Amino acid sequence: MLSKAVFKQTLSQNWKLWVILTAVTSVIAVMIIRTFDPHAMRLAMMTFGADGPPQGMGGGPFGTGTSRFGMLTIPELMASGYYAMLGLLMPLVYVIITANSLIASQIDRGSMAYTLSAPITRIKLVFTQAAYLFAALAAMFAVVTVAGLATSQISHNALWGQAYTPDVVAAAQVLGVSNQDVENNLPLILNSPKAIVAGADARGVSQEVYTMYVELLLINQAIDGTAEIMGVTPYEFMENPAMADGNREVAQLFSMLLGVDIGVVESHMEHIVDDLYGQSIESPTMLLILMNELDHYMQDIDMDALMAANHAAAEYLGMESLELMANLHILANDQSALAVASEASGIDEATLLAFINVQLAEAEFEFDQGIYFNLGNFVNLNIGIFLLMFAVGGVSFMFSCIFNLTRNSLAFGAGIPIGFFILNMMANISPDFANFRFFTLNTLYNPANVAGGYGFIPQFMAMLVIGVALYLIGIIVFKRKDLPL
């Protein structure tokens, strides 16, 4: 089916464009990943995320909108900007130009006469060209993926980062147990004042903040573990926590996480749901108390008063409000600034300090989370964009096979893919245009869903099938038509 000689010719004719556009795409990906900064992200979310985090990122369960699911991971960051726009553009240009040059332009110029004057069947020729486009795209995204992974590793230590955070290492040393034991049994830290001091030092935060941070980790482990047992995503579990009621496995998990007897957990199982929402006051287990505490602060504090506190403190410290938000530890350590903020907002100092500590703890937690790199999701993002380009490229290739003139081939083979791109963009920008999504192939690739790990397999399959069908139509048309050579 493949002609090696034709493939070689095509390669020698097309490699330059491939190298240029692959390099540009990789550089864009690398730059975006390099700029990734969990703290900056948090700031951005606080500034722009007043009405909740961007679509697809989910809201947090604790009222602040920034904890746990409010944080962008690297794949999610990539999904929001790169894979929805920039990362699509260069490959799109590549596919359009290459698809045209593989068939239509060679007929238009007449140079295909030489290829076909050799004993090469038309099927072999067109199939080889299609295979080239497929291989070139696959190679392009392989390079981008590798570049992205390498950058994540180099800039953020995200792939083979420290297996254990420095505080876990420090706590383990104090406790005289292995790092792994500490990670798997966080109450060990909480139960040892010495471990808390060591851990707080290692992270460079106060003991209060560090304690809260470990508690957050614990909650996180509980949610993840429960979701896994229930066979749902953490999001789905948070939407309907009642699903875990009376589940013995969940009880075991909680018992293990909290280091308490399973009987105690089981006797309180029916309260877990309520407790997660902070409505049940009486909880014997530490986890549930923690959750309540955290939520309690959030719910009782008036946002307007908080803003007033922030402004007053910022003014007192001679900082911008946003700057202060990103450096709340300054406020926590400055008694007089705290007093100013308390006076301005009418919130007593202790509550304010507690709130700040929660924020700082969340920031620590999110820092870990943001760095956390989901390799599978990142690779899936790239597989998805490859499949989209394969399907959209199928449109270009088909028209390249149908038309003998470059201008006609490009009118449709470039016009339609660009139209897809624009329709998709408009559908995403405004709900008024939401229905446009039914008229574009790009709808099948939803980077936010892929990065979040939601259902995307049917869409991927659809892109594959559509792509294959388009290429086949092109191949058949090319085999049968008259060539003006």
Which stretches of the chain bind other proteins, using CB under 8 A? 3, 5-6, 8-9, 12-13, 106, 109-111, 113-122, 124, 480, 482-485
Please tell me what DSSP assigns to residue 336.
H
* Angle, CA 192 vertex, CA 189 and CA 196 arms, to 5°: 60
Name the residue nearer to other proteins (CB basis): 129 or 359: 129
Smallest distance, Å, CB 110 to other proteins?
Answer: 4
Name the residue nearer to other proteins (CB basis): 122 or 437: 122
Smallest distance, Å, CB 396 to other proteins?
Answer: 20
Smallest distance, Å, CB 452 to other proteins?
Answer: 44
Smallest distance, Å, CB 111 to other proteins?
Answer: 5
Residues in CB range of 373: below 8 A, 6 or more apart: 73, 74, 75, 152, 156, 158, 159, 161
DSSP states along 185-214: -THHHHT-HHHHHHHHHHHTS-HHHHHHHH
HSE-up of residue 31 (Cα within 13 Å, Cβ side): 10
Q: Which helix (H) or strand (E) holds 397?
A: helix 375-402
Residues in CB range of 271: below 8 A, 6 or more apart: 280, 282, 283, 288
- CA–CA distance, 401 with 412 (Å, rounded to integer): 11
Among 25, 164, 132, 145, which Cα is nearest to 86's? Answer: 25
Name the residue nearer to other proteins (CB basis): 101 or 206: 101
Among 370, 369, 375, 387, which Cα is nearest to 150's? Answer: 375
Smallest distance, Å, CB 481 to other proteins?
Answer: 8
Name the residue nearer to other proteins (CB basis): 120 or 476: 120
Name the residue nearer to other proteins (CB basis): 115 or 226: 115
Name the residue nearer to other proteins (CB basis): 55 or 480: 480
Smallest distance, Å, CB 2 to other proteins?
Answer: 14
- On whether the CB atoms of residues 174 and 92 are closer than 8 A, the answer is no
Smallest distance, Å, CB 404 to other proteins?
Answer: 11
Name the residue nearer to other proteins (CB basis): 103 or 361: 103
- CA–CA distance, 147 with 134 (Å, rounded to integer): 20
